Amino acid sequence: MLRSISLALAGALVSAAAAAAEPAFTLPPPPFTLPFLPSPLGDWTVTIGVGGEARPSFEGSKNFLLSPVPIFSIRRAGTAERFRSPRDGISFGLIEFGGFRAGPVGKFVRERNADSYAALHGLGDVKFAVEIGGFAEYFPVEWFRTRIEVRRGFGGHEGIVADFSADLIAPSWHGFTLSGGPRFSLGDTRSVQPYYSINAAQALASGLPSFDAKGGARSVGAGALLRYRINPQWTVHSYVEYSRLLGSAASSPLVRLRGSTDQVTFGFGASYSFDVRVR
């Protein structure tokens, strides 16, 4: 009797162990991807290039500085090239479906050296900043794009900035494509203070009145871009971006007395596209 019970228990334990060893569900063999994430394998089109940009020497400046601008983008080979505005940060779409795209974004903010410009005398230097965050853009139709970027600064400022933009994209005509639309920018207090506040020591050294900058609306404006596709590999472009400083940025004595609330940027560039295969 005891032997029969022992055998029955042993059989039950063996059956339970076998059942436990069977997975409740099966994952696809690696590597696998979620439906909305692009696989890294396959053919990709890489675009590289260089341009030049004439922009205010520093935020709020009335003088211009000419500097080089690198161009880089990557997309799945065979897909249409996505629209990109000169205002956009460096981004990579991780989530894509329909007309929606989202992913990480970054932007570099140049350092501000007080010794380089007479208007900054006595205000001290501001280190360069790297802004890291995320973006989302949506094409309700193929000729209209809306986009938002939210980034957190590291280095010259430690605040949060948000850029909003919308662009109408005219149909291509003999290789030419024209686009443009409105722009709007927000920033918290920590993102504007290094560039627009003036403390007591800086006021004494610069001759400007003290000023405590606060966050809020930072600028509003518009931009336009003209592109010409020479052939499937080569493209040239030019653009202009205008913004009107708002809030504390416009009220800062640095801008009112030594700079300008009107900020204009002109740019041009050329790029080359080629395909690579990831195995």
Residue 57 lies in a domain: yes
More confidently predicted of 86 and 12:
86
The answer to whether the beta carbons of residues 228 and 181 sit under 8 Å apart is no
| Per-residue pLDDT band at 81 (split at 50, 70, 90) | confident
First to last CA, the chain: 64
Residue 35 lies in a domain: no
pLDDT value, residue 163:
98
pLDDT value, residue 90:
87
Burial call 34-67: b when 16+ CB within 10 Å, e when fewer: eeeebeeeeebbebebebebebbbbbbbeeeeee
In terms of Cβ atoms closer than 10 Å to its own Cβ (0-12, 13-18, 19+), residue 87 is buried
pLDDT value, residue 37:
54
Number of domains the chain contains: 1
Residue 104 lies in a domain: yes
Residue 103 lies in a domain: yes
- Alpha helices by DSSP H, listed for 22-173, are none
Whole-prediction pTM: 0.81
What CATH number did the domain enclosing 238 receive?
A: 2.40.230
Residue 13 lies in a domain: no
Give me the domain span that covers residue 79.
Answer: 42-278
Q: Is the pLDDT of residue 82 over 90?
A: no
Residue 5 lies in a domain: no
Give Dmax over CA atoms of the chain in angstroms. 104
pLDDT value, residue 12:
44
| Per-residue pLDDT band at 39 (split at 50, 70, 90) | low
With a pLDDT cut of 90, the percent of the chain lying above it is 70
Residue 10 lies in a domain: no
Q: Is the pLDDT of residue 243 over 70?
A: yes
- The mean per-residue pLDDT over the stretch 145-169 comes to 97
Residue 199 lies in a domain: yes
pLDDT value, residue 106:
95
| Per-residue pLDDT band at 38 (split at 50, 70, 90) | low
pLDDT value, residue 20:
37
